[in-house]
Amino acid sequence: MASSYSTSLGIEKMATGDQSGAWGTTTNHNWDIIDRISAYTSVAITTNADTATLTVREASPESGTENLQDGMYRVIKFTGALDSNCTITVAPNTAKVFFIILNATTDSGSSGPYSLILSQGSGANVTVGNGKASVIYCDGAGGGAAVIDAFSDLQITDDLSLASDSAVIKIGADDDITVTHVADVGLKLKQAGATGDGSPFVLTLQTGELDIEADDVLGQIDFQAPDEATTGDSQLVAAGIAAISEGAFSSINNATKLSFKTAASDTASEKMSLSSAGLLTVADDIVFKDGGTIGVASATDAMTVSSAGIVTFKDDILIKDGGTIGVASATDALTLSSAGLLTIKDDLVLADGKTIGNATTADLIHLAAAETVFNEGSADIDFRVESDDNDSMLKVNAANNSVGIGCDSSNTEFLKVGTGSGADGTQYDLLKFQGSGSGPIACVYKNDISTSATTIMAVTVGGAGGGMALVSGGTSPHTFTEMVTWASQGSVSVFGTTTLNSPPARTYTMSTNSLQLALASGTHPVAVWAITLRHN
Per cent of the chain over pLDDT 90 is 51
In a domain? residue 328: no
> Which of 149, 181, 214 is at the close of a domain?
149
Query: Residue 118 — φ and ψ, nearest 5°?
Result: -90, 125
Between 84 and 429, residue with greater pLDDT? 84
The whole-model pTM stands at 0.56
The region, left, alpha or beta by phi > 0 then psi within -120 to 50, assigned to residue 502 is left
141 and 263 co-located in one domain: no
Instruction: For residue 512, give the CATH number of its domain.
Output: 2.60.40.1680
- Tell me the pLDDT tens digit for each residue of 463-484: 556 788 899 998 877 799 999 9
User: Is residue 436's pLDDT more than 50?
Assistant: no
483 and 408 in a single domain? The answer is no
pLDDT at 499 over 80: yes
Same domain (yes/no): 217, 125:
no
Strands 269-274 and 237-245, by their bridges, are unpaired
Examine the domain organization and report whether 134 and 208 are in the same domain. Answer: no
Same domain flag for 37 and 111: yes
353 CB contacts (<8 Å, ≥6 apart)? Answer: 366, 367, 368, 369
Q: Which of 156-165, 193-202, 362-371, 410-419 has the lowest mean pLDDT?
A: 410-419
**Which runs of E-coded beta strand occur in 197-277?**
217-224, 237-245, 256-262, 269-274
> Looking at the structure, do residues 405 and 432 belong to the same domain, yes or no?
no
320 located within any domain: no
**Domain assignment of residue 129, yes or no:** yes
Query: How many structural domains does the chain have?
Result: 4
Is the CB of residue 8 less than 8 Å from the CB of residue 57?
yes
Does pLDDT of 356 surpass 90? Answer: no
Q: Report the mean per-residue pLDDT for the chain.
A: 87
- CA-to-CA distance for 265 and 213, rounded, in angstroms? 30
Q: What is the pLDDT of residues 243-258, one digit of tens each?
A: 999 999 999 999 999 9
pLDDT at 138: 96
Same domain for 275 and 407, yes or no, is: no
Count, residues in the chain:
536
Of 149, 165, 195, which residue constitutes the final position of a domain? 149
Within a domain: residue 503? yes
pLDDT tens profile 270-326: 999 999 999 999 999 999 899 999 999 999 999 999 999 899 999 988 889 999 998
Q: Are residues 278 and 228 in the same domain?
A: yes
Mean pLDDT of 441-452: 86
Mean pLDDT computed over 50-79: 86
Element (H, E) at 55: strand 51-55
Q: Are residues 378 and 488 in the same domain?
A: no
pLDDT in the model for residue 461: 47
State which residues form the domain around 512. 428-535
Q: In the predicted model, is pLDDT for residue 434 greater than 70?
A: no
CA distance 380 to 483: 38
Claim to verify: residue 384 and residue 262 sit in the same structural domain = no
Answer yes or no: do 101 and 226 share one domain.
no
Q: For the chain, first and last CA: distance in Å? A: 170
38 and 115 together in one domain? yes
Residue 184 covered by a domain: no
Q: Which residues pair with 52 in a beta bridge?
A: 88
Within a domain: 256: yes
Residues 6+ apart with CB under 8 A from 91: 53, 54, 55, 56, 59, 71, 120
* Domain presence at residue 390: yes
